[in-house]
């Protein structure tokens, strides 16, 4: 019994230290992201993901950093490198957490960045893929406000492109705002 107690006294501080290092590293990476230091933030999120190889969040944030940096990018080589890096990160996260609606939404962002860059080339194939990803996310988590809002935003932008009325999506946006009031992301109580 004494040995078990001693082992637990030795292990608990190690676990707490690892958790605090994870939290500190994530905060540092988030700060780099806020400072628009895309490459540094992405690299730090990737290093964290390697160490925390059971946690999908660092890879998800690496994807987010790389994807958002690509919106507005005019150089195809830069865009391709950034979005391929984002796709690698999201694939790692999806392997750790399949059917995760947050990751499905991030995947639609990658496709949307390609569509924004060249709608004539990428719109036909990736628009349908995005619609399927939003449907899957909505089936998995119909009460997730990010899913409801993101799908409504996608539908509005699609209809705007075709000159259709966007008013019908107002109810979905309103519903998402109501869902945000009491929403707790997975892993939080």
pTM: 0.84
pLDDT, tens digit (0-9, with 9 covering 90-100), for 48-91: 999 988 999 999 999 999 999 999 999 999 999 999 999 999 99
pLDDT at 172 over 60: yes
Looking at the domain assignment, is residue 28 inside a domain?
Answer: yes
Lowest mean per-residue pLDDT among 24-28, 63-67, 140-144, 158-162 = 158-162
pLDDT, tens digit (0-9, with 9 covering 90-100), for 83-139: 999 999 999 999 999 999 999 999 999 999 999 999 999 999 999 999 999 999 999
CATH of the domain at 45: 1.25.40
Looking at the domain assignment, is residue 9 inside a domain?
Answer: yes
Looking at the domain assignment, is residue 148 inside a domain?
Answer: no
Looking at the domain assignment, is residue 33 inside a domain?
Answer: yes
**Parent domain of 83:** 2-100
pLDDT at 4 over 60: no
pLDDT of the residue at 186: 65
6 confidence band (pLDDT: 50, 70, 90): very low
SS3 annotation, the chain: CHHHHHHHHHHHHHHHHHHHHHHHHHHHHHHHHHCCCHHHHHHHHHHHHHHCCCCCHHHHHHHHHHHHHHCCCCCHHHHHHHHHHHHHHHHHHHHHCCCCHHHHHHHHHHHHHHHHHCHHHHHHHHHHHHHHHHHHHHHHCCCCHHHHHHHHHHHHHHHHHCCCCCHHHHHHHHHHHHHHHHCCCCCCC
């Amino acid at each position: 019994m004494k040995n078990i107690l001693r082992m637990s006294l030795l292990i608990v501080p190690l676990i707490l230290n690892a958790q605090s290092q994870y939290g500190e590293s994530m905060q540092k990476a988030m700060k780099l992201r806020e400072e628009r230091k895309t490459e540094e933030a992405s690299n730090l999120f990737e290093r964290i993901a390697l160490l925390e190889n059971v946690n999908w969040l660092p890879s998800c944030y690496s994807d987010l950093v790389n994807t958002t940096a690509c919106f507005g990018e005019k150089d195809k080589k830069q865009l391709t490198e950034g979005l391929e890096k984002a796709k690698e990160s999201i694939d790692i996260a999806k392997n750790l957490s399949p059917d995760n609606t947050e990751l499905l939404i991030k995947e639609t962002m990658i496709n949307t960045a390609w569509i924004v860059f060249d709608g004539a080339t990428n719109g036909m194939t990736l628009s349908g893929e995005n619609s399927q990803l939003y449907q899957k996310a909505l089936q998995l988590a119909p009460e997730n406000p990010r899913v409801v809002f993101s799908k409504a935003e996608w539908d509005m932008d699609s209809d705007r492109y075709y000159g259709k009325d966007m008013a019908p999506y107002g109810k979905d946006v309103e519903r998402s705002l109501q869902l945000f009031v009491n929403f707790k992301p997975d892993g939080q109580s």
